[in-house]
Chain A
Amino acid sequence: MFQEIQAIPSTRTRIQISTPPLSVSVTTRDNLTELGAAFFFSSVIMLVSKVSRAGILMLRGLSRGKLTPITRAGYIQRPYSQYLQLLFERQTETKVFQGSIFLKHHNFSTTTTANASEEGSEKEETISVTFVDKDGEEQHIKVPIGMSMLEAAHENDIELEGACEGSLACSTCHVIVMDMEYYNKLEDPADEENDMLDLAFGLTETSRLGCQVIAKPELDGIRLAIPAATRNFAVDGSCNY
């Protein structure tokens, strides 16, 4: 039996449980017979008892997804760095997470929350982002609204460095927005971000720091390139210490 937990962080955490053949959202009560209700509760119990480490990892990490990147205080970063520690050591969990994203597409959802279709509710909560690495390989991921591109990359095993873990003290999460149209939809970088972009390798007109690009609906379909290191990094003048 497929069981899956899908946690979608936005301003609150909403749990949507899909267990074929019955699909139930916590907020709906339409057409539940007593039998259906019993089935629902027993599958919830099974689900809870079978929750994988991946599930906990995901929920913990994603529910902390909304970091405030502008702050200078190192404190907010600690939960994120603990998350990174887990991510580095337990790669299998990430694969299970990716597996469950795949499983999701096999379920039919009959929720009667705001949108009629599962696709519709997805668009509201996640956007599609494509990362293009320095070898030209593309990776398509779904990013929850409110999550930074840096976090999204790390959750999906995409090789984007983040030395200062999102505290605007480095330029290693530098990404290039591949389409000007999307670049213009982003808010202008603050002085602090520009100061860090000054030092980024392979800086372009549409460069941004991945930790400062936050997923919002208008960015659905955005393509981000991870820059290749320039050969002449020792000579290009951007080397100050």
Chain B
Amino acid sequence: MAIFQARTWLCRSFSTLSSHPLHVCVVGSGPAGFYTAEKMLKAHQEAEVDIIDRLPTPFGLVRSGVAPDHPETKIVINQFSRVARHDRCSFFGNVTLGSSVSLLELRELYHVVVLAYGAESDRELGIPGEDLVGIHSAREFVWWYNGHPDCKNLDPDLKNTDTAVILGQGNVALDIARILLRPATELATTDIASHALAALEESSIRKVYLVGRRGPVQAACTAKELREVLGIKDLCIHLQEADLLKTPKDEEEIKNNRIQRRVYELLSKAATTGPSHPRSGQRELHFVFFRKPDRFLESDEKRGHVSGVHFEKTVLKDVGDGKRIAVGTGKFEDLECGMVLKSIGYKSVPVDGLPFDHQKGVVPNIRGRVLHDTSGDPTLLEEGLYVCGWLKRGPTGIIATNLYCAEETVVSISEDLNLLASKASLPKPGREGLLHLLDNRNVKFVQFSAWEKIDSTETMLGSLKNKPRDKLTTWEELLKVARE
């Protein structure tokens, strides 16, 4: 609590001491970027904040990650738009860190640089067959159905098989299961990308397996998403009652964790309501527990294509500190399928000039202040450089998690600025400098007003198809509309 009182005092001190604007650059326009920008604008009345993003469209995963049938989760875009329209804030889309402008250049142009560009890569399993056709990462699949221009041509084959296996049981895994199993007519009135809707309308997938290494007590999804998938009409849910048996350690875990308790209760209720004999053509969702993928099986008829997953059965083993991990038992089992989706986590991508912890997949930092290296030495700081969001904490949490993450980073920034104010801080070029640089490099950046043109075009196109919007899904289309 004291730190928040200190922060208000510190911010007022800085603003009276400084005689020139504070130039701040936020890299990434998802929740982490926007919450950071909002809090910086509020805490520093002299701050000018520029938000850059490599895409022409802002909002990060709110636009490209949240499922099309979850429109209420996207309402936060209204708040972010108000921030972008603030007179001390500017959005620059189509500006890529590393190619349009380097990290070093940004640090020369701005007093404060906050990296909030998230995690655009995937954790790998590192098992044989991982590069067979028909195996996709969840991130790519989600980007595909959400119309991200980088995955427009993913072209997943939904017609060669009736079974898809999803590795992982978090909310992203559930989102994918839901999109694969919902009747396409229900998806037709959402903002799902048109190319994905067309593919799903012809999909032959009727069975989806959600496979986890551990048990139902450890399932990573949350109640709302689980409740939703269990409530889909005409969907037959399969769960082994044996998997629901709880050990004393499980009881302990449940007792202390509200989320896990409620998820477990939903799963047990689903098991007892049990599957009636499936009518032909009825869709099935199977929850499979205690299975770890050992390798992917290749099809004999279609070389190079996946035909199934070879699983090892697991048990939970205590590794101290109350933690338990899944270990193999030496017993194996195969699941046939024509498509595999790996929903096992995202990973951040490093850039030149940025210290990076390759083991954890994050930028080494203390409360948002970037450290010089991964030694953990808190005295070796990269001055003026900060992180927020998944790049700082790892790829976990919900949109709201970034609210608190941004709060912490902004407090760190404010404390550091106050220390700086005691020595004379130099003025920096800021937005003007960035504009010159981008102009020299012929970078066609997209301002917020240009995004608004894309927005109204998509909304107008959507109204013709009874959708809230029909997304523009190629770089060419997006940039063309932005420049009109």
Interface residues of A (CB under 8 A from B): 72, 74, 77, 81, 84-85, 88-89, 134-136, 161, 163-165, 167-172, 191-192, 194-196, 198-199, 201, 203, 228-230, 233-234, 237-241
Contacts and interface: CB of A to CB of B under 8 A. Distances in A.
A203 B258 contact: yes
Interface in B195-250: 220-224, 227
A229 B224 contact: no
A229 B75 contact: no
B10 to A, nearest CB: 14
A169 to B, nearest CB: 4
A172 B401 CA distance: 9
B361 to A, nearest CB: 14
Interface stretch (B46-54, B287-295, B392-400): B392-400
B76 A164 contact: yes
A127 B474 CA distance: 53
A163 B75 contact: yes
Contacts of A77: 72, 75
Contacts of B79: 84, 163
Interface of B: 1, 4-5, 8, 70-73, 75-76, 78-79, 82, 170-172, 220-224, 227, 257-259, 262, 393-401, 403-405, 407-408
Given A84-B82, A170-B398, A240-B397, 8 more contacts: A135-B8, A168-B72, A169-B73, A191-B223, A228-B1, A237-B257, A237-B259, A241-B398
A137 B45 CA distance: 22
Nearest to A234: B393
A241 B170 contact: yes
A89 B86 CA distance: 9
B78 A84 contact: yes
A191 B222 CA distance: 13
B220 A192 contact: no
Nearest to A166: B75
A104 B75 CA distance: 36
Q: Which 4 A-B pairs have the closest CB atoms?
A: A169-B72, A229-B404, A195-B224, A163-B76
B78 A74 contact: no
A74 B223 CA distance: 21
Given A81-B75, A199-B398, A228-B1, A238 B259 contact: yes
Given A163-B79, A198-B222, A172 B170 contact: no
Contacts of B171: 240-241
B259 A199 contact: yes
A171 B401 CA distance: 10
B223 A198 contact: yes
Contact of B75 (A164, A196, A228): A164
A58 B404 CA distance: 31
Contacts of A229: 403-404, 407-408
B362 to A, nearest CB: 10
Contacts of B78: 81, 84-85, 165
Contact of B400 (A135, A167, A171): A171
A74 B4 contact: no
Nearest to B31: A163
Pick the most buried of A165, A171, A191, A239: most chain B CB atoms within 10 A of its CB: A239
A93 B259 CA distance: 42
A60 to B, nearest CB: 17
A238 B403 CA distance: 15
9 contacts: A84-B79, A163-B399, A168-B72, A170-B76, A171-B398, A172-B403, A229-B407, A234-B401, A238-B259
A239 B258 contact: no
A196 B394 CA distance: 22
A167 B75 contact: yes
B75 A74 contact: yes
B399 A240 contact: no
Contacts of B403: 161, 163, 172, 229
B76 A241 contact: no
B400 A240 contact: no
Contact of A241 (B5, B172, B257, B408): B172
A230 B3 CA distance: 12
